[in-house]
Structure 1
Amino acid sequence: MGEVDPAFIQDPEHRPKLSATEAEGIPLIALSPLNSSDNISDPKAIEGVVREIGNACKEWGFFQVINHGVLLDKHKKIKAAARKFFAQPLKEKRKITRDEKSLFGYYDTEHTKNVRDWKEVFDFTVEEPMLMPASIDPEDKEETKWTNQWPEYPPELRVACEEYTEEVEKLALKLMGLIALSLGMPGDRFTSYFKDQTSFIRLNYYPPCPSLQLALGVGRHKDSGALTVLAQDEVVGLEVKRKRDGEWIQVKPTPNAYIINVGDISFWSNDRYESVEHRVLVNSERGRFSIPYFVNPAHYTLVRPLEELAHEQEDPAKYKPYSWGKFLSHRKLSNFKKHNAENIQLYHFRVSE
């Protein structure tokens, strides 16, 4: 990795407090009632899970799930293949570097000159090809196709990624159904939005960092999609900003658990649920792996508060509609082009009070 930019030292807003509060962790929820063969005869158990998820989304924006039904051997295979890929020399990994034409593939912070984020990444789309708008012009109705880049080595990486995707996709859609139920809607309320989903998966590698005070694995941010399903290894790093007091809370790894957080599209709920800031700290001695699955709707989805939850008199819509595809294209392309305006953000669509 490259040297840390000296200007970063003077930016206390983004420097981590290394003594994060650990007194309280994000909720841990067992999904075993949903995987039980007799769950139909015990609706109260499922109601309990729905209630726990609703409370976690409202109070934290984050939770962990165990007994989720994902086959663990698929996770082991993708992790092993990812380790082989990231262990290669940079020149080999950069053969599939993402760019303006190929938006999926590899990148590293030295290559992109982004010294604030100390990591390497490999992205791939869940549905290939991913259908997207041809441009960010609101009037342009043309579609384009985004495709994956796969490395020659290790040869098993592609199969491991595709098998893992099948497993975690089931969990992601199950969670979207539970979230719908927690909002008082039918469990299939969100299903149609993901017919041509623009979801993608990221393999993150955070190398050991010699200057803990000067860099983050990932700086403070919110996820822009509907939901994120994250697998992490045993190395501590993820921190969540607790809503009630703004304290950074360390998420201690739980064996075989997935970490779930709602993204900015949670404004479907008209702010009943909100995305929250999170970040990743680096480690001076050990590298860290994580695998987030960013659950996103079809590009032609018009995102806005749902009519069931935005009542004109009692609780009017707090956001204006926006095109998810144009939003995502703008975000992705901003990695390669500088726009005159600020990068598009959720609050740009908030209705003025």
Structure 2
Amino acid sequence: MGEADEAFVQALGHRPKLSITEDEGIPLIDLSPLSSPNGANTKHIDDLVVEIGNACKTWGFFQVINHGVPLEKRQKVEDAMRKFFAQPLEEKRKVRKDEKKAVGYYDNEHTKNVRDWKEVFDFVADKRILMAASHEPEDKEVPETFNQWPDYPPELRHKDAGALTVLAQDDVGGLEVKRKSDGEWVRVKPTPDAYIINVGDIIQVWSNDAYESVEHRVMVNSEKERFSIPFFFFPSHYTMVKPLDELTNEQNPAKYRAYSWGKFLTTRKGSNFKKLDVENVQIYHFRVQELADKLERALSINSK
């Protein structure tokens, strides 16, 4: 067996263990009260809100069932996905994305400066995409780009716009979530026709850390291909992300400075295509405490 390409090698602290805890405690939430034929019951809706809130605080992840998404639509997307990725590499690369084309096919993506062992086809729900041209604050250019659609399969053009960040994974599974209580990695067992929902960084900032964006990863299966369909909900590029006013006060002051989502996303995407010499931008770079610590260190150095 040959040596692995160093581009794929994770740091020791990030490598998965051979034994993984399987799906203990990750909430499975029934959304049927939202689509009751007798109309929504206020108490049931209130209970559902509490259940989702607790899941976000405790895990940052949960699965939903009885969500109302027709199974045949999901199957249609999955069939198109498998047909597309089964094509020769040269066909898939005809719609390849790069630093100028924001969406399309890609097989050389990096996460936290380590190359991912995966292939991706990105597209957005809107017909056009507006993204900041660069991370520089004074650069006001917002170029427009569009989805790239392959000639085959044509079904891949079908899309359903949504309002949540959701993941559909196949029966191979492999998604692992870092449990907040003890830092243990927990495998999310595939549930038929369920969707996985997780809290992202923006919700963590909006909620002023009431809800946490937890670490997660995917374990490579050496015997089977794994397919998944994630939908990422992003705000508009001009959005300034900061803790919501309703959730901050003198006892619970804002823990983050406001930052431009468009600039943040453009900066993060820069590391998708190449390994950087430094860590890419993270939300903790905007924490108020981190700024205070930097100022304290600077004052300490100047006083010597």
Q: Same fold (TM over 0.5)?
A: yes
Q: In structure 2, what is the equivalent of residue 17 of structure 1?
A: 17
- Relative distance call for 1:115 and 1:337 in structure 2 (3 A) is closer
Deviations along 1:131-163, whole A, 9 cap, x unmatched? 22233221233321121111111122113xx2x
Deviations along 1:40-89, whole A, 9 cap, x unmatched? 4x211111110100000000000000011112111101100110010011
- Determine if contact 1:39/1:46 at 8 Å carries over to the other structure: no
Shift of 1:258: 0.4
Aligned length, in residue pairs: 287
Shift of 1:242: 0.3
Q: What SS does the corresponding residue of 1:39 show, helix, strand or coil?
A: coil
- Relative distance call for 1:327 and 1:9 in structure 2 (3 A) is closer
Shift of 1:348: 0.4
Q: Which residue of 220, 243, 253 maps to 2:180?
A: 243
Q: Which residue of 289, 292, 305 maps to 2:230?
A: 292
Shift of 1:293: 0.4
- Is 1:73 equivalent to 2:11 in the alignment? no
Q: In structure 1, what is the equivalent of residue 287 of structure 2?
A: 350
Q: In structure 1, what is the equivalent of residue 62 of structure 2?
A: 63
Deviations along 1:188-223, whole A, 9 cap, x unmatched? xxxxxxxxxxxxxxxxxxxxxxxxxxxxxxxxxxxx
Q: In structure 2, what is the equivalent of residue 280 of structure 1?
A: 218
For structure 1, the 5+ residue unaligned runs are: 173-227
For structure 2, the 5+ residue unaligned runs are: 293-304
Q: In structure 1, what is the equivalent of residue 31 of structure 2?
A: 31
Q: In structure 2, what is the equivalent of residue 199 of structure 1?
A: none
Shift of 1:236: 2.2
Shift of 1:33: 0.5
Deviations along 1:226-284, whole A, 9 cap, x unmatched? xx310011112000000000011110000110000000012100000010000100112
- Relative distance call for 1:33 and 1:291 in structure 2 (3 A) is same
Q: What SS does the corresponding residue of 1:103 show, helix, strand or coil?
A: coil
Q: What SS does the corresponding residue of 1:53 show, helix, strand or coil?
A: helix
Q: Percent of counterpart pairs with the same letter?
A: 67
Q: In structure 1, what is the equivalent of residue 244 of structure 2?
A: 306
Please list, as runs of the form range in 1=range in 2, the aligned pairs for 1:110-121 lying within 5 A after superposition: 116-121=115-120
CA distance in structure 1 between the aligned counterparts of 2:271 and 2:144, rounded to whole angstroms: 18
CA distance in structure 2 between the aligned counterparts of 1:74 and 1:265, rounded to whole angstroms: 29
Structural RMSD (CA): 2.3
TM-score by length of 2: 0.88
